[in-house]
Structure 1
Amino acid sequence: MENSASNEAFVRFEGVQKSYDGRTLVVKDLNIDVPRGEFLTMLGPSGSGKTTSLMMLAGFETATKGNIYLNGEAINDVAPHKRGIGMVFQNYALFPHMTVAENLAFPLKVRNMTSSDIETRVKRALDMVELGSFGNRRPAQLSGGQQQRVAVARALVFEPDLILMDEPLGALDKNLREQMQYEIKHIHERLGVTVVYVTHDQSEALTMSNRIAVFNDGVIQQLAPPSELYEKPINSFVAQFIGENNKLNGTVLSSQNGTCQVTLSTGEVVKALDVNTDKAGMSSTLSLRPERVFINPDGEQYDNMFSGKVEEIIYLGDHKRVRMNVCGHDDFIIKVPNSTDKRGIQVGEIVPIGWSVDDCRALDPV
């Protein structure tokens, strides 16, 4: 494909592969387009190929096959420092002997900018991450969250069109990590800069991204906005990796008009959306989110009505996490909002439960 054909995507991976030993592909035929201004997250377990893909885009790794384009230009042979990309790493990579302002000025001095330009940009970048008064401090005098904000400011200071972030919040504690997720999200929204972000943390990806590419075994399993990934996983890997999920294994009994009937090993028949089953007689794994199942449904009729025994109730503030034995599965989870649990269920009770066919997805067997 010619460069001109890549103009509609700001970042494009086209048939990209990566092998370190010439035999095993760490990244297999990666094709992805990132529009200008998007926050795209590459999400997946360790060894899935997400960080390798980011490092090829940065120029720290070379593609074994295929092309990578930035703003319509092939960059496979462009040195990392000439790609004009901002980078934020997990370990901050700040110079300890320099002040915060000197850390931010460094990439500008490398680009031979004037002193007045440098001063203006450093001030603007620090204000952007709400550290305007911290310019004279050294990194050791800052908290972890403040250091990470300095690292973000340094990536922004030369006003790149693209910022790459590799697990940038992994070293922070839970509360600080959640706070930084919102801060980075808001910076992105204010500036409109394109961000490609790598994490193995699914809640982080759901919180921050316009779209998420779920990686496994060097392949993108699904690329979609967060709500679509969660509500409409296209295979069992995505269903299990994103959010909590009940899985029921069975055999496809019949399928028509986009829905199917699946017989469980215990004999019950479940109606589900036919997402990617093969044909009658084939195995399938049903995917069902815990908050889509209802206990004591007050006379309402659902497509799937069963009874279950309450094994355990864990109080989590806004909801109860109820573990039940349903259709022979003793690890079936239902999330019950405390606002709806008027009667109060008890351990040992056998109660009716129900769920809609639209909330149950028949996927590939696992």
Structure 2
Amino acid sequence: MLDQSATDAFVEFERVQKSYDGETLVVKDLNLSMPKGEFLTMLGPSGSGKTTCLMMLAGFETATHGDIRLAGKPINNIPPHKRGIGMVFQNYALFPHMTVAENLAFPLEVRGMNASEREKKIKRALDMVQMGAFGGRRPAQLSGGQQQRVALARALVFEPELVLMDEPLGALDKQLREHMQFEITRLAHELGITTVYVTHDQTEALTMSDRVAVFDDGRIQQLAPPDELYEAPQNSFVAQFIGENNTLEGVVAELKDDIAIVKLDGSDAVIEAKAVNVSKVGDRTRVSIRPERVETNPERLQSNAHTLQAEVLEFIYMGDIYRTRLRVAGNENFVVKTRNAPDVARMTPGQTVQIGWLPEDCRALDA
């Protein structure tokens, strides 16, 4: 992983706030630092503040309070075109009356580069995105995926140290989107470009990023590498927003070091969970457990596993996995994912089964 200490921070937000009306804060006291070469994704639902942060970094919005620094220098009062930042938007923002090569030449002309140097850089950028043969075409003659490659090449052509991407793959179909995710990540790492990527697509964030900042209500709820976000969410919002997640509600009956003993609602069951976001006995909690961590084969349950009775409500064959919806402790949307394998039995609605999981795989979070 990249070193993220503040001393070598390349991008910094310090106590940044943003309000459009002078009353409501859409970004609340944001502190964030990124080292050079990191690929950081800002992830969150609509209205969570992620795009506003990107636009303040680009210079299209001004922070109401706080400082934004690039390579140690404050940039709050520097206009967008003087920040030397590459931008890629969802709608491509290509000039329709210009050819692909002319679109790429534009940022170079603005920087006063001579014709032969421009030509070299345009060729290199188009080759990087496998669009070398398309320099003479206009955007209307290209598919959506090709236009997005050109938009990416234009952001990279002047070799910026920082590239910002706002939902750049939102308009593409699933297969092309997945292909472009790998292309963008590969290019960013090969070229050593610092990248800030905004999306509301959690799969995109998990597959592309060095770290992910999960936004909600104008604040970063958790900032961590993808595997840590998924395996160790710090609160209920992150647990629910990242991947599929089961929750069982209850009350903390006992706290022992970092273990919470939880009495589940609608059941006599008592389970153990990591005490992540509870502080005292009597606290309401949501216990979080991932669908793939739940075992449905009694023979494979370990001796220290929790076991609960469950009723099968729905069994769906999905090719590589089975997805089973169960009623567990009053929750009718408890999902289990099991791999499609000879030793995994198919279940039928109405069947009663015993399920189980290890205490270390569940987390007692805020209610």
* 2:234 equivalent to 1:261: no
> How big is each residue's C-alpha offset from its partner over 1:190-236, in whole Å with a ceiling of 9 and x where there is no partner?
11100001011111101110000000000000000000000000000
Letter in 1 for 2:72: G
Match for residue 194 of structure 2?
A: 194
Match for residue 284 of structure 1?
A: 285
SS in 2 for 1:163: strand
Letter in 1 for 2:269: E
Match for residue 81 of structure 2?
A: 81
Aligned counterparts, 1:159-198, within 5 A = 159-198=159-198
> How big is each residue's C-alpha offset from its partner over 1:275-316, in whole Å with a ceiling of 9 and x where there is no partner?
010210110011110000000230632431112111111111
CA distance in 1, matches of 2:110, 2:179: 32
Match for residue 18 of structure 2?
A: 18
Q: Which runs of 5+ in 1 are unaligned?
A: none
Contact 2:251 2:263 in 1 (8 A): yes
- Residue among 312, 315, 318 paired with 1:313: 315
TM-superposed deviation, 1:320: 0.6
CA distance in 2, matches of 1:84, 1:284: 47
Letter in 2 for 1:267: D
User: CA separation of 1:243/1:123 partners in 2, compared to 1, >3 Å: closer, same or farther?
Assistant: same
Contact 1:276 1:364 in 2 (8 A): yes
> How big is each residue's C-alpha offset from its partner over 1:67-95, in whole Å with a ceiling of 9 and x where there is no partner?
00000101011111000000000100001
CA distance in 2, matches of 1:147, 1:7: 38
TM-superposed deviation, 1:174: 1.5
* 2:29 equivalent to 1:34: no
Match for residue 143 of structure 2?
A: 143
Match for residue 104 of structure 2?
A: 104
CA distance in 1, matches of 2:87, 2:300: 56
CA distance in 1, matches of 2:36, 2:6: 12
TM-superposed deviation, 1:340: 5.8
CA distance in 2, matches of 1:132, 1:295: 53
Contact 2:338 2:344 in 1 (8 A): no
* 2:362 equivalent to 1:360: yes
SS in 2 for 1:11: strand
Match for residue 333 of structure 1?
A: 335
Contact 1:308 1:325 in 2 (8 A): yes
Q: Which range moves more in the overlay, 144-153 or 178-187? A: 178-187
SS in 2 for 1:321: strand
Contact 2:27 2:219 in 1 (8 A): yes
Contact 2:155 2:163 in 1 (8 A): yes
SS in 2 for 1:298: helix
Q: Which range moves more in the overlay, 151-160 or 311-320? A: 311-320
Match for residue 131 of structure 1?
A: 131
CA distance in 2, matches of 1:308, 1:160: 55
User: CA separation of 1:340/1:31 partners in 2, compared to 1, >3 Å: closer, same or farther?
Assistant: farther
Letter in 2 for 1:185: T
> How big is each residue's C-alpha offset from its partner over 1:215-269, in whole Å with a ceiling of 9 and x where there is no partner?
0000000000000000000000000000000011100000112111111112211
Match for residue 297 of structure 2?
A: 296
Letter in 1 for 2:337: K
Q: Which runs of 5+ in 2 are unaligned?
A: none
CA distance in 1, matches of 2:287, 2:232: 12
CA distance in 1, matches of 2:60, 2:343: 54
CA distance in 2, matches of 1:30, 1:182: 29
> How big is each residue's C-alpha offset from its partner over 1:93-119, in whole Å with a ceiling of 9 and x where there is no partner?
001111111110110011110100000
SS in 1 for 2:299: coil
Letter in 2 for 1:307: Q
Contact 1:7 1:72 in 2 (8 A): no
TM-superposed deviation, 1:341: 4.2
CA distance in 2, matches of 1:343, 1:273: 30
CA distance in 2, matches of 1:153, 1:357: 49
* 2:274 equivalent to 1:273: yes
Match for residue 352 of structure 2?
A: 350
Q: Which range moves more in the overlay, 345-354 or 187-196? A: 345-354
CA distance in 2, matches of 1:339, 1:137: 50
TM-superposed deviation, 1:138: 0.9
SS in 2 for 1:133: helix
User: CA separation of 1:334/1:6 partners in 2, compared to 1, >3 Å: closer, same or farther?
Assistant: closer
CA distance in 2, matches of 1:260, 1:81: 53
> How big is each residue's C-alpha offset from its partner over 1:322-354, in whole Å with a ceiling of 9 and x where there is no partner?
001111222110001002643333322211111
User: CA separation of 1:94/1:279 partners in 2, compared to 1, >3 Å: closer, same or farther?
Assistant: same
RMSD: 1.2
Letter in 2 for 1:298: E
User: CA separation of 1:131/1:188 partners in 2, compared to 1, >3 Å: closer, same or farther?
Assistant: same
Per the normalisation by structure 1, the TM-score is: 0.96
Contact 1:302 1:354 in 2 (8 A): no
Match for residue 235 of structure 1?
A: 235
